[in-house]
Amino acid sequence: MNIIASKKTQRMATSIFTELVDRKREAMKKGIEVIDLSVGSPNMPPSETVVDTLVQYSKDTTKYGYTLKGIDEFNIAVSYFYKHRYGIELDSQTEVLQLMGSQDGLSHLAMAMIDPGDYVLVPDPGYPIYEHSVLIAGGIIHPMPLLEKNGYLPQLDEIPQEVLHKTKMMIISYPGNPVTALASQEFFEEVIEFAKKYNILVVHDFAYSELIFDENPQISFMSVKGAKEVGIEFNSLSKTFNMAGCRIGYVIGNNEAIKILASFKSNIDYGIFYPIQKAAVTALTSDYSVLREQVKEYEKRRDTLIAGLEKGGWKVTKSPATMFIWTKIPSGWSSRQFAFELIEKAGVAVVPGDAFGAQGEGYVRMALVQSPEKLAIAAERIQEFLQTVRV
Q: Is the pLDDT of residue 133 over 60?
A: yes
Predicted pLDDT of residue 234: 98
Least confident range from 20-24, 94-98, 214-218: namely 20-24
pTM of the model: 0.95
pLDDT classification of 198: cutoffs 50, 70, 90: very high
Residue percentage of the chain with pLDDT more than 90: 89
pLDDT score of 171 more than 70: yes
* pLDDT value, residue 13: 64
Higher pLDDT, 17 or 222: 222
Mean pLDDT, all residues of the chain: 95
Over the stretch 204-246, which tens digit does the pLDDT of each residue have?
Answer: 999 999 999 999 999 999 999 999 999 999 999 999 999 999 9
Per residue in 143-164, pLDDT (tens digit) is: 999 999 999 999 999 999 999 9
Beta bridge pairs of residue 204: 172, 233
- Taking alpha carbons only, the member of 181, 125, 128 closest to residue 364 is 125
Q: List the domains of the chain with CATH numbers.
A: 7-44+289-390 (3.90.1150.10), 48-285 (3.40.640.10)
- Kindly give, in sequence order, each residue whose CB lies less than 8 Å from that of residue 285, ignoring residues fewer than 6 positions away: 77, 80, 81
Task: Give the confidence band of 391 by pLDDT, cuts at 50, 70, 90.
Answer: very low
Confidence of residue 388 (pLDDT cuts 50, 70, 90): confident
Give the closest residue to 100 by CA, choosing from 332, 344, 280, 291.
280
To which H or E segment does residue 112 belong?
helix 102-113
pLDDT at 190: 98
The answer to whether the CB of 317 falls within 8 A of the CB of 151 is no
92-120 mean pLDDT? 97
**Which residue(s) pair with 367 in the sheet?**
324
> Rounded to whole angstroms, how far apart are CA atoms 355 and 53?
38
Average confidence (pLDDT) over 72-99: 98
pLDDT score of 322: 98
pLDDT at 14: 63
pLDDT > 70 fraction of the chain, expressed in percent and rounded: 99
CA distances from 106 to 112, 130, 208 (A): 10, 7, 15
Mean pLDDT within 67-72: 94
- The band of 326, judged by pLDDT with boundaries at 50, 70 and 90, is very high
Average pLDDT, integer, range 309-328? 95
Give me the pLDDT at residue 12, please.
Answer: 73
What's the pLDDT at 177? 96
The whole-number pLDDT of residue 312 equals 85
Radius of gyration of the chain (CA): 21
